[in-house]
Chains A and B, each alone.
Chain A
Amino acid sequence: MIALFCVLSAFASEPLWVGLPAERLVGIGLGTPTISEEVPGLQRHPLSTGGLVSLYLSPTVSEAEAVFAHLEQTGATFWAPATEPLPGDRAIGDGTAIVLVRSANVVILVRDPEAHAAVVARRVIGALQPRE
């Protein structure tokens, strides 16, 4: 019970993100997003160096965790082990060609042909707008 309370308290105390401000996109190498009409909360940004950043904004951390689990199952057919420390609260992928990251209520999936996926993910997290 105490452990569960600590986990829940940890979730409750995490700051939440409200999104990625448009004026910060260019600075972190992301292109104008495609806003999905079919998948709520999904934005897909092309990378200026090629590749793709998919950003899922969920209302709560627990919902973002469900998104993370879903993408862990469906986002790639092969998850290579990480070759470097990965960002965020939870992450998988090799961190070079691909990384799947959850930071609070945001899930970020980066495919980077330039092999800097984890770096890109850190930049995106750093540009997120926190809830006031």
Chain B
Amino acid sequence: MVLALAALGCSENAIRADGVDPDSDAPEVDAPAVEIAAAQAFDPLLGPLDVEVRAAPSVDLTFEIRDAAGIVVTEAGTTDPDGRWSTRWEARDGAGWEAAGVYTLSATVPGAEGEAPVGLVRAGFVAARLEDDAGVSATREPLYWPVARELRDAADPVATLAGIDDGRAPLDFPAVAEGPMAVRPDGNEPAAFVYDSRPLLSLDVATVSALGGTGLDTVDVAVSAEGWTVLSGVPLRPGTPVLLQRDAPLGDTIGISELDLALVFSAGDARLGSQRLPLRLYRVLGRSQFASAADKYRPWAPMVEASLAALEGTTAEVYPVLDALVDFVYFDLDLSYDTQSGAAAYSVYTGDGLSGPHLFLTDFLTRRNGSVINCSDAGNILGAYANMIGAPLDHLILDPGFQLNFIQAIGATEHTSCPFGPGGCSFNYHAVTTTPGSELIWDATLALDGDGDPGETPNTDLLVQEIPADEYLDRLVRSGFPQYNSQIRGTLE
């Protein structure tokens, strides 16, 4: 025999069962009252319901739990000298559980009877979506997954569950897989928002559970999450999404926010358990800055994951972001310069001459052609990272060819003016980057000599971050008359 008691939160249910109206002038009948103290509702997968009956001392009582079809549980007992009797209901039904819904607790002693409703409920969500409000307080940027060539936006759930329990225990949403990933992970995936957004979270209420249904159509259950405000959808009802919004902006810098939401369910004052929802949110500077609206010009998830992990805490402005990206490409990607010929591994120019810079980004992500690159590659790679996280960056050419001052090429350990060996002291052209309207240069291919005489040793490392265009030429060019030209946003595939 299983004694199950579902209690609906709030205060304990106390019912005067002797039928006497306390406001009546009629003399009271001296009959013992029966009070049933239990929670308003409970989730049996989280534990049983404790019930206490208060009646006259040392009297026999009959306790029943009934559903609409009849008696589910019956138990006999005797109150103690203090008039209390307690029991516990696990809501088990053989190997399974009693059905979700509202039950009636009933306690009968000689001359009196008490009843209280109790809800048997399983609350949980099976899908989570992250949304924005078109920039009023949140802007979500869709993420592109290059292997599957799919774009995921607010209509697509970031986290899903096949069910809210496994028949025995509640289930949380899975964690997001670690590290840059080209393949979209099952169950929980990252999403990108502009850094100061207050994301909106839409949750789909479960309709089935280990109890059959969920009981949410007849039992009022609320949900809360610390740091989030529920906007709609409470009490939970199957088929009606719950909408919450984060109270505070994600941050004032770019990076990655790892959130671990505890979605707490309650019925009145009674807590019904919680469901965990991990979220990984990329805090980007702004929307993708590529000119094309095609899916592949939205942020690529593996690119954003890698760059923002490295740029965590960077000031959310264009120049600091570009500076940090030069560090990232120059130091962190294990790339080195092609000192044989300065030939591209991942780039071509699709227009006339050196116009139309184009990056084979899918190949670069897997290093399909190795890690030895040239300036065209570095410019395109830097441009891809920058534009994808909202920092506008154009490809820019220096030509005709020129002799070099001292430089330290990417992956090199010392400065040289002849990166290609004796007789190889010049570039036929050079590719750099600039943000529109700045007349500043960012270049991840090389570091300049930052001292007063870049044409001679000793040399001082100067990363090319926000270098004025004229100064850049002065430091790079030993002889020749290269000009800046062909400034354009790159393309990719």
Contacts and interface: CB of A to CB of B under 8 A. Distances in A.
Interface of A: 34, 36-39, 42, 44, 46, 50-52, 54, 70, 73-80, 93-94, 96-98, 109, 111, 113
B363 A44 contact: yes
Given A73-B353, A75-B343, A98-B341, A38 B420 contact: no
Given A77-B427, A113-B370, 4 more contacts: A70-B353, A75-B343, A78-B426, A78-B428
Contacts of B428: 73, 76-79
A70 B430 CA distance: 16
Interface in B323-356: 338, 340-345, 348-350, 353-354
A38 B491 contact: yes
Given A34-B363, A51-B369, A93 B349 contact: no
Contact of A77 (B360, B362, B423, B430): B430
Contact of A78 (B349, B353, B424, B493): B424
Given A34-B368, A76-B374, A113-B370, A97 B340 contact: yes
Q: Is the interface of A mostly helix, strand, loop or mixed?
A: loop
Counting contact residues on chain B (CB < 8 A from A), the size range is 20 to 34
7 contacts: A46-B368, A73-B353, A78-B426, A93-B341, A109-B343, A111-B341, A113-B372
A19 B90 CA distance: 73
Most buried by B among A36, A44, A74, A113: A74
Contacts of A74: 348-349, 353-354, 376, 429
Contacts of B198: none
B375 interface: yes
A77 B348 contact: no
A31 to B, nearest CB: 8
Contacts of A113: 370, 372
A93 B340 CA distance: 10
A34 B359 CA distance: 13
Most buried by A among B368, B376, B424, B491: B368
B358 interface: yes
Interface of B: 338, 340-345, 348-350, 353-354, 358, 360, 362-363, 368-370, 372, 374-376, 420, 423-424, 426-430, 491, 493
A76 B341 contact: yes
A70 B429 CA distance: 13
A126 B375 CA distance: 32
B348 A42 contact: yes
6 closest Cβ pairs, A-B complex: A77-B342, A97-B340, A76-B343, A98-B341, A76-B341, A52-B369
Contacts of B424: 78, 80
A77 B369 CA distance: 18
A111 B372 CA distance: 10
B79 to A, nearest CB: 81
B344 to A, nearest CB: 7
A39 B350 contact: yes
A46 B369 contact: yes
Given A36-B360, A77-B374, A97-B341, A70 B369 contact: no
Contacts of B360: 34, 36, 44
B22 to A, nearest CB: 83
B370 A50 contact: yes
A73 B376 CA distance: 13
A112 to B, nearest CB: 9
Contacts of A51: 369-370
Given A34-B363, A38-B493, A111-B338, A77 B375 contact: yes
Given A46-B369, A78-B426, A38 B358 contact: yes
A97 B341 CA distance: 7
